[in-house]
Structure 1
């Protein structure tokens, strides 16, 4: 690493408030654990499902039906990458493409009935784990946590 970059990083680190360091540490721990949980959830949905695909299923479940270009924009990924991932989900029988009634050249993506069933079963287990973890928190604290996570996601990503 060049000396100027090293000095700049040292200066930034010196002035970084302790609370920001704590946020960075906790967020790193959350993301690391989240990847492990996503792997488990993906296997619960389907043994051949890639860990990152659980998030795609979550968005498709939430949207109901969405164009690939809109989903790619929402997730911040390229259409080519997303198309390959969707193709894999189609191969597993979890996602389908239907013609877009507004534009016959485009398709709308949605979960198949089997995809919904499998996703809902896996999500039910995850929500139960959240209930156990957050069960001692007040409703106001859980609401604040959700609100702050949403705000962070909207501003950071």
Structure 2
């Protein structure tokens, strides 16, 4: 069993993660969209765009489903909406004609780039009073936490299968 200080740290991390999750509502995410959009971008589609960007060149609907933690039919509907918005294109996979590969369109790439810049500005303002070394250390620790949490989640999913 962890000592009191370690248990307090785990409790603080758990509470912070819950607070982050609760703050990620459609409304709050909509406020974190780049200003000047003709119409607000549905935050549920950001996940599709992020997933396609992460696997640029080899992304399928199955990959989007896995990235978003949704079933295949839900991912298909979200991808279709992104295609209809003009942000994602589909083309046949040369290795498997039954599978479609997804890619960001020029408009989708521009939206993703603009969103990245805007999010980074929001994060910079949130850490404005931090010393530079703390920002660097936070980035290192948060990245390590996310990677470790991903491994644990994947391991737990494997045990459930």
- Contact (CA 8 Å) 2:62, 2:72: kept in 1 or not? yes
Cα gap change, 1:148 to 1:77, in 2 (>3 Å)? farther
Q: What is the TM-score when the length of structure 1 is the normalising length?
A: 0.73
Paired position in structure 2 for 1:61: 53
Which moves more between the two structures, 28-37 or 109-118?
Answer: 28-37
Unaligned runs of 5+ in 2: 1-5, 154-161
- Contact (CA 8 Å) 2:33, 2:41: kept in 1 or not? yes
Paired position in structure 2 for 1:9: none
1:18 paired to 2:11: no
Cα gap change, 1:74 to 1:51, in 2 (>3 Å)? closer
- Contact (CA 8 Å) 1:134, 1:142: kept in 2 or not? yes
Larger Cα Rg: Structure 1 or Structure 2? 1
- Aligned-partner Cα distance in 2 for 1:46–1:108: 28
- Aligned-partner Cα distance in 2 for 1:154–1:99: 32
- Contact (CA 8 Å) 2:34, 2:114: kept in 1 or not? no
- Note the C-alpha offset of 1:69: 1.6
Unaligned runs of 5+ in 1: 1-15
Cα gap change, 1:67 to 1:139, in 2 (>3 Å)? farther
Q: Tell me how many residue pairs correspond in the alignment.
A: 142
- Contact (CA 8 Å) 1:42, 1:53: kept in 2 or not? no
Paired position in structure 2 for 1:105: 98
- Aligned-partner Cα distance in 1 for 2:135–2:34: 28
- Contact (CA 8 Å) 1:38, 1:52: kept in 2 or not? no
Paired position in structure 2 for 1:87: 80
Please tell me the root mean square deviation across aligned C-alpha atoms, in Å: 2.7
User: Aligned match of 1:153 in 146, 149, 155?
Assistant: 146
Residues 68-99 of structure 1: CA distance to partner in whole angstroms, max 9, x if unpaired? 22332343322111111111111111111111
User: Aligned match of 1:34 in 14, 20, 24?
Assistant: 24
Cα gap change, 1:112 to 1:46, in 2 (>3 Å)? farther
Cα gap change, 1:152 to 1:116, in 2 (>3 Å)? same
